[in-house]
Amino acid sequence: MISISSYVIVAAVLFGIGTLGVLISRNIIILFMSLELMLNAASLAIIAFSRELNVIDGHVFVFLILAVAAAEAAVGLAMVITLFRNKETLNIDRFNLMKW
């Protein structure tokens, strides 16, 4: 059998990749998906811990996380549409009005 820590390490790596995606991508949509990836990585870790401790509550949390992620996707994409309408671009660096 595979140890739980293997799963958690996979979750950690996915989380790191998501972080990197947030840092380097210029496209808002990809940046946004990176955020979703980070959420998924956290979910994976929770499920692994839940299995280890044999407590099913973790699954409920993950279910709720999925609901939140779905809601976030809906709102976030609406924002993306609005932003695109205003600036005709999705380059995140163009949205820098809130500076000094």
Partner 1 sequence: MNLDAVIFIISAIVAVLGASMMIFQRNPVMAVLSFMVSLLAQAVLYIQLDALFLGAVLIIVYAGAVLVLFLFVIMLLNLRTTKELGPSSSLMRHLGKYFLSFLLIMEFVFIIKSSFFKGASLVGVMNMKPEGFGTVTSVATLLFTKYLYPFELTSILILVAIVGAVVMARKDKNIDRPTENKLGKN
Partner 2 sequence: MSEYLFLVPLFPLIGFLINGLLLGRLPRSMIAFIACVSVGLSFILSLFLFFGLKAMPPEIRIVEQVLFNWIIAGSFHANIGFMLDPLSAVMIMVVSGVGFLIHIYSIGYMRGDTGYGRYFAYLNLFMFSMLILVLADNFLFMFVGWEGVGLCSYLLIGFWFEKKSASDAGKKAFITNRVGDFGFLLGMFIIFWQVGSLNFTEVMASAPQVFVSGGVLITVTCLLLFFGATGKSAQIPLYVWLPDAMEGPTPVSALIHAATMVTAGVYMIVRTNVLFIMAPDALMVVAIIGVVTAFYAATIGLAQNDIKRVLAYSTISQLGYMFLACGVAAFSAGIFHLMTHAFFKALLFMCAGSVIHAMSGQQDMRYMGGLKKYLPITFLSMLMATFAISGIPGFSGFFSKDEILWKSFSSPFGNYILWAVGFITAGLTAFYMFRLIYLTFYGKERMDEKTKAHIHESPKSMTVPLIILAILSVIGGWVGLPHLFGFTNNFEHWLEPVMRKTNQIIAARRINEAVGETGIEWGLMIATVALVLISIYFAYLIYNKRTELATSLREKFSSVHKLLLNKYYIDEFYGAIVIRPLIYFSLFLWKVIDVAVIDGFINGMASSYDDVSGTLRTMQTGRVRTYATIFLAGVVIIIAYMVFY
Count CA within 13 A, CB hemisphere, residue 90. 13
Place of tokens 């998906």: 33
Site for partner 1, residues 20 to 79, rule: CB under 8 A: 20-21, 23-27, 29-30, 32-34, 36-37, 40, 43-44, 47-54, 56-57, 59-60, 62-64, 66-75, 77-79
Nearer to partner 1, 72 or 96 (CB): 72
Q: Which residues bind partner 2 (CB under 8 A)?
A: 19, 22-24, 26, 92-93, 95-100
